[in-house]
Every structure is written in structure tokens, then in C-alpha cells.
Structure 1
Amino acid sequence: MLNKVVLVGRLTRDPELRYTPNGVAVANFTIAVNRPFSNQNGKREADFINCVAWRRQAENLANFMKKGSMVGVDGRIQTRSFEGQDGKRNFVTEVMAEQVQFLEGKTSNESSEQSQSGSPLENEGIPMDLSDDELPF
């Protein structure tokens, strides 16, 4: 059996950090992941994926990432159900994040919003001088 998810997308809102009664950090966040194709109108659509991170990873996510930040998530899909206040059974599907990669920092996201061209590192003043031999593809 295999349950593995790899996603790259942008946070749709700031991560929501909470603590369990035992003091364990948990962060809920949603990422928008672009679909690899266009719809009938020629526009790219996105899927909005609910994710959960735990412990130190949850705290780091809440402290260093915000709405619009690009993240990579490795994890697994998990489903659960609960009874709502109306008495109906609700089902939830989430990605339990085993690893979250910060693909850009707070400041690079803000500066990339101002200038939509170039790489995020370019806005940080870091030169990118790579030969073809150094590229991983």
C-alpha cells in the first residue's frame, strides 16, 4: 500500500497555529495548486488543498510563512469524520504534512509581488551564475 502526496503551491491564507491540551503545536493551512492544463476558456484553474502540520514544523510554518508564500508539501492523505452541530456527519479529507519546504521567504514573496519578472533570488541581490553542467535537469 502507498499513500504519498507531493504538492507545490501558494498559501491561500496565513497558517492557523493552535496547541492541543497537551501542548503539541498543530497548524492548519490551505495551498492553491495550479492544474497542469487550461479549462475550455483557456484559463488555468487551481485546486485548494487542506493540509495539517504538527509540532516544530507547524510552529515554523506559522512563524515564517504567510498568505501567498510558495511551499512544497510531502505527506499523506487522511480522511476523518465528525458530527456537526446540526447532527449531520461531516467528512474531511486533508494532507498530513510529513515535510514542508519553504520555497521562498516572507521578504522574497513581498518583493516578487512588486516585480513579477525574474526569480525570487534576483530580488534579494543574490547573483545566479550557473553553467549548464550545474543544472539538475
Structure 2
Amino acid sequence: MNQVSLIGRMTKDPNLQVTHAGVPYVKLSLAIQRRYRNAKGEFDVDFVPCTVWRKQAESTAHYCHKGALIAVIGRIQTRNYVNEDGERVFITEIIGDDVRFLKLKYDDSTGHTKPVNPSEIITST
């Protein structure tokens, strides 16, 4: 079984793109705070690359912004390629099948969601 569930904050605004075949997708990175403190007493953060396709990508691009707390449910995918220097590059990413919008910041002045303050992207618990 290859299934993963992540909850984290988006590190930047999503950029909806379209493949040559016309399939929409969004590449995003989730900042996910670890549960335990390191030797310095701080929480480390993992930045996990995710790709979301089709309608989920369109909805994510429309409703989410940098700092939005989201859940991504999907699978781990690995791939590799040879770069222009002839070196093999390995990539591990999450392919999101389902995206849940957990917390968007609401702007009373415009009536729309907006990004949270960058200082709120990672909070200690």
C-alpha cells in the first residue's frame, strides 16, 4: 500500500500550470513541523514537495495562498532523470489525490481569503 496523509502550511502561492495535453496541475511545497524538539530545543521543519492534478489543482490554485493550512492525501512517487551534466537526479514527491483546505485567513475588507502573515507559517506547539 502506498498512501500518505500530510498536514502543513503552503510555502508560497500556488501557480496553476497546464501540461501539453491540457491537464492542469499545481506543484507546491508543504512546511511540516516535526513533533519533537532538536538538541537546540527548536522544532525542525520538513519541506515536502507535492504535485496535485486536475480539478484538485484548480481548486487549490483558486482557494489557497501562501501560509494556508492544508491536508494532502495521496501517494509517494519517485522518478529520476539525467541532467545536463550527465548526473542522475532522483526526485521523491507526494502526488496529491485529495486536498483539504483546513485554515485560510479571511480578509474582512475584501471578503476573500488571504495569506496568513509569513511569521505565522510555522508555529511552535
Q: TM-score range by the shorter chain?
A: 0.7 to 0.9
Distance 2:48 2:61 in 1: 17
Distance 1:96 1:103 in 2: 19
* Structure (1 or 2) with the greater strand fraction: 2
Q: Say whether the 8 Å CA contact 2:13–2:65 is kept in structure 1.
A: yes
Following superposition, the deviation at residue 77 of structure 1 comes to: 0.3
Distance 2:48 2:115 in 1: 25
- Tell me which amino acid in the other structure corresponds to 2:73: D
Following superposition, the deviation at residue 105 of structure 1 comes to: 2.6
Q: Say whether the 8 Å CA contact 2:65–2:115 is kept in structure 1.
A: no
Match of 2:46 in 1: 47
Following superposition, the deviation at residue 45 of structure 1 comes to: 0.8
Match of 1:80 in 2: 79
Match of 1:93 in 2: 92
Structure 2, unmatched stretches of 5+, are 108-112, 121-125
Match of 1:120 in 2: none
Task: After superposition, give the CA deviation of every residue in 1:11-50 in whole Å (9 maximum; x if it has no partner).
Answer: 0111232101111001100001110100011101111000
Distance 1:76 1:112 in 2: 28
Match of 1:130 in 2: none
Structure 1, unmatched stretches of 5+, are 117-137
Q: Say whether the 8 Å CA contact 2:68–2:116 is kept in structure 1.
A: no
Distance 2:103 2:96 in 1: 18
Secondary structure of the structure 2 residue equivalent to 1:107:
strand
Higher relative contact order (CA 8 A, sep 6+): 2
Q: Say whether the 8 Å CA contact 2:68–2:115 is kept in structure 1.
A: no
Distance 2:57 2:114 in 1: 22
Match of 2:123 in 1: none
Following superposition, the deviation at residue 84 of structure 1 comes to: 1.2
- Tell me which amino acid in the other structure corresponds to 2:49: N
- Tell me which amino acid in the other structure corresponds to 1:32: A
